[in-house]
């Protein structure tokens, strides 16, 4: 009888030990998982629509050395992104396709101190569908009967559209082209309209034209017909991940990032 009780006691003791070990192991797993989750960081980058393809390539490169950082891109017209930020939309980094939108955020005190800098340089080009059925040869052709519909970004919010209007004005084309100009929400929409033949031609960034095999570049905008196209970058004062944001902005200026920018047709701004 005593032997039976001893065996039962021993069995109970073993089960208790195993149960405690199991609980301890589960606790360690939970702690590890919790630590892993805590280590992850999220950065939201509001960037001009013209940066879509290059940003995807940059994200792939950045993640190689920063696997615990999640990059989320909010892409759109720079003016629209500016308005979103002013209204409190979450963002850690802003990359504009023009200085105007960044200046507005600077004036309102929304940028983190000493984080704004010029990042990239771009150009505006005149593009037509690949078959170029209108037989366009240079910018002056947009004032002729060869062209019935010209697509540009909406100047109210799209820097590329603002540059287009500068070009029209400085070349003396405004009166001739305004009646046949149609406005898109962003520069990628302009590109799509030209690709699909919904417009006879359009004005887009050179980098946008470089990614499409459905259009033909007719000409670059004449020298001095528009302000220099400079993309500034800055970290927002409201960022909850300042250090992670600084790390990504620093990466954007490394040789590896510069090589990717150049592959997509951008010129890194000189420091």
Q: Lowest-pLDDT range, 28-32, 201-205, 236-240?
A: 28-32
Q: How far apart are CA 139 and CA 197, in angstroms?
A: 18
What proportions of the chain, in percent to the nearest 5, are helix, strand and coil? Answer: 50, 25, 30
pLDDT digits over 136-147, tens only? 999 999 999 999
Structure tokens at 61: 């490169």
C-alpha 79, offset from chain centre: 13
End-to-end CA distance of the chain: 89
The DSSP output letter for 138 is S
Residue 38 has pLDDT above 70, yes or no: no
CA dist 110 and 102 (Å) reads: 10
227 contact partners, CB below 8 Å, separation of at least 6: 163, 166
Q: What is the mean pLDDT of the chain?
A: 88
- Regarding pTM above 0.85, the answer is no
Q: Which CATH number fits domain 124-220: 3.40.50.10140, 3.40.50.1980, 3.40.190.10, 2.60.120.1030?
A: 3.40.190.10
| High-pLDDT (> 90) share of the chain, % | 83
Instruction: Average the pLDDT over 159-163 and give the result.
Output: 95
Look at residue 270 in the predicted model and tell me its pLDDT: 78
Q: What is the pLDDT of residue 164?
A: 97
Q: In the chain, which residues fall in CATH 3.40.190.10?
A: 40-121+230-268, 124-220
**Token pair listed for 12:** 């109970």
Bridge partner residues of 150 (DSSP):
181, 201
Q: What is the pLDDT of residue 27?
A: 37
The residue ranges of DSSP E strands in 41-113, in sequence order, are: 41-48, 69-76, 93-95
Per-residue pLDDT band for 36 (boundaries 50, 70, 90) equals very low
User: Is pLDDT above 50 for 22?
Assistant: no
40 pLDDT band, cuts 50/70/90, is: confident
Q: Comparing C-alpha atoms, which of 124, 49, 115, 110 is closest to residue 79?
A: 49
- Rounded CA-CA distance 29/270 in Å is 49
Average pLDDT over residues 138-159: 96
Specify the CATH number of the domain 40-121+230-268: 3.40.190.10
List, in sequence order, the alpha helices (H) in 124-267. Answer: 159-170, 174-177, 187-195, 206-210, 242-251, 255-263
Residues 162-201: pLDDT tens digits?
999 999 999 999 999 999 999 999 999 999 999 999 999 9
Residue 3, pLDDT score: 47
**Whose structure tokens read 């019935």?**
148
pLDDT band with cut points at 50, 70 and 90 for residue 223: confident
Residue 244 exposure: Cα atoms within 13 Å on the Cβ side: 22
Residue 39: count of CB within 10 angstroms of its CB: 10
pLDDT band at residue 271, thresholds of 50, 70 and 90?
low
């Amino acid at each position: 009888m005593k032997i039976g009780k001893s065996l039962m006691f021993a069995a109970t003791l073993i089960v208790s030990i195993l149960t405690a070990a199991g609980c301890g192991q589960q606790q360690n797993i939970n702690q590890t998982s919790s630590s892993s989750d805590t280590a992850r960081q999220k950065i939201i980058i509001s960037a001009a629509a013209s940066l879509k393809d290059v940003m995807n390539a940059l994200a792939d490169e950045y993640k190689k050395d920063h696997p615990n950082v999640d990059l989320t891109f909010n892409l759109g017209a720079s003016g629209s992104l500016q308005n979103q930020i002013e209204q409190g939309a979450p963002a850690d980094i802003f990359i504009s396709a023009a200085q105007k939108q960044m200046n507005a955020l600077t004036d309102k005190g929304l940028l983190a101190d000493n984080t704004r800098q010029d990042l990239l340089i771009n150009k505006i080009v005149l593009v037509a569908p690949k078959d170029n059925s209108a037989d366009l040869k240079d910018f002056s052709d947009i004032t002729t009967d060869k062209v019935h519909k010209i697509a540009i970004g909406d100047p109210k919010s799209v820097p590329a559209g603002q540059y287009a209007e500068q070009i029209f004005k400085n070349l003396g084309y405004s009166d001739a082209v305004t009646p046949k100009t149609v406005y898109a929400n962003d520069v990628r929409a302009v590109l799509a309209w030209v690709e699909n033949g919904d417009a006879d031609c359009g004005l887009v960034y050179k980098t946008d034209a470089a990614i499409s095999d459905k259009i033909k570049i007719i000409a670059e905008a004449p020298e001095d017909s528009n302000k220099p196209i400079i993309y500034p970058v800055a970290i927002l004062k409201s960022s909850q991940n300042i250090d992670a944001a600084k790390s990504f902005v620093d990466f954007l200026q490394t040789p590896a990032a510069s090589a990717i920018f150049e592959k997509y047709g951008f010129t890194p701004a000189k420091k």
